Amino acid sequence: MNLILFDLDNTLLKGDSDYEWGNYLAEIGVVDKKTYTEKNAYFFSQYQEGTLDPNEYAKFSYEPLAKNKYQDLIAWRNNFIEKKIRPMILPKAIELLDRHRNHQDTLAIITSTNKFITEPIANELNVDHLIATELEMQNGEFTGKIIGHACFQENKINCLNSWLEKVDEKIESTWFYTDSYNDLPLLEHVTNPVVVDADQRLSEHANKKGWQKISLR
């Protein structure tokens, strides 16, 4: 099969779902607005610079999940998808997904953003397969901890390989669409790297490598 991998944030979406989720929790008063938005922006700038420590970010980002009931989190997430995520879905991203579906390709989203946030987004995009950071639960509630490692930077390859072991399909070729320099390890790993509305460092690297560059904006 031809496996087509897509980053989610700032690739298929016009924005970052993880960052906006934090802002949304601040907006509806789940967390202290001033403190949380400042820290959220701090970590987001680290992500953009490629210096983010995923374990440090996890302690901050997943604390609200651990401190609130799962049923409340689901209600907030439903509103978040409706109000914040649906307007971020790019029409050209839908066209790209449909084009690969028409070629009978296997589509998967691979993202560092946790599965609690991204699973309904993958459903919105009609993408059956999702590889994302997994969160630990006990007795039906989040603990605030990650299962294994965050699906981030070089660990995206490990997460992909773990998923492929479960799928047990012969892969003929792999494509990966992403905007971020953080995804360089996986871009180097696949047979067909494609950069999408790339940040400056990734754009320059793509030029040197002769990789395909596209825009979905």
Q: Is 16 a catalytic residue?
A: no
Distance of CA 10 to the CA centre of its chain: 9
What's the one-letter identity of residue 116? Answer: F
> Could you say which of 7, 16, 18, 179 is catalytic?
7
Q: Is 9 a catalytic residue?
A: yes
Q: Using CA atoms, how far apart are residues 190 and 193, in angstroms rounded to an integer?
A: 6
Where residue 31 falls (left for φ over 0; alpha for ψ -120 to 50; beta otherwise) is beta
Catalytic residues: 7, 9
